[in-house]
Structures are given as structure tokens and as C-alpha cells.
Copies of this chain bind each other. A is one copy, B any other.
Amino acid sequence: MARTLVQFDFPYPGPWGAEMAQAMDGLARDIAGEEGLLWKIWTESQADGLAGGIYVFETRAAAEAYRDKHAARLAEFGISDIRARLFDMNDTLSDITRAPL
């Protein structure tokens, strides 16, 4: 099973920046312990009213399990129009462009 990238984004009303960091601190610590997670970058765009994340998992199975779990959690938060995509990573091309993999 190959490492898999998960791309999430969804409409999000805030809070942003430092306030978002405070509000999501517990969630981030929970996600840090997620089975098979190598890392997550937390994304936010106040201008577009969007937030999300870019994740790399050790295996496709871990990525799929997380996608399902996180989509359900976001829906419980009242978030809809969730866009979640799983991707393979092209390591040869990513090496050329200095990807941190």
C-alpha cells in the first residue's frame, strides 16, 4: 500500500488565524495521533470563506478511513459542501520539485 495524499476543503465561516488555532487546538492534537498520519498542513482562506487540509498518510487504507471519519465529523459541525480527494503522489516528479516526502 502506497503513501496517499488527502486534500480536504469546505466552506468555513471562521474563526481565522490565531483564534482558529486556539479553537482547534484539541482537534489538532487528536488528529496528530491519527492512525497512519505522517503530517497535515492546515489551510484557511478568509477571502474565499474556505478552510481545509493537506494530509499525507502511510497507506491508502489509512487515508480512506480518515476521509470517511473526518467528513462525518465536519458534517456534525454543520459543515456541508465538503470536497475530499485522495491522490497518489508522483515521487519522481515531486523529487525534482523538492517535495518534503
| Known contacts A7-B9, A9-B7, A54-B54; is-contact A40 B85 (Cβ 8 Å) | no
| B5 and A7 contact, CB distance less than 8 A | no
A 72-101 binary contact with B (CB < 8 Å = 1; else 0)? 000000000000011111101110111111
Nearest residue, chain B, Cβ from A92: B21
| 25 A-B pairs (CB sep. < 8 Å) | A5-B43, A7-B7, A20-B90, A21-B92, A21-B93, A25-B96, A28-B97, A32-B96, A32-B97, A32-B98, A38-B98, A40-B98, A40-B99, A42-B89, A42-B93, A42-B97, A43-B89, A44-B88, A44-B89, A44-B90, A48-B85, A48-B86, A50-B87, A54-B54, A100-B100
| Known contacts A29-B96, A92-B21, A96-B28; is-contact A41 B85 (Cβ 8 Å) | no
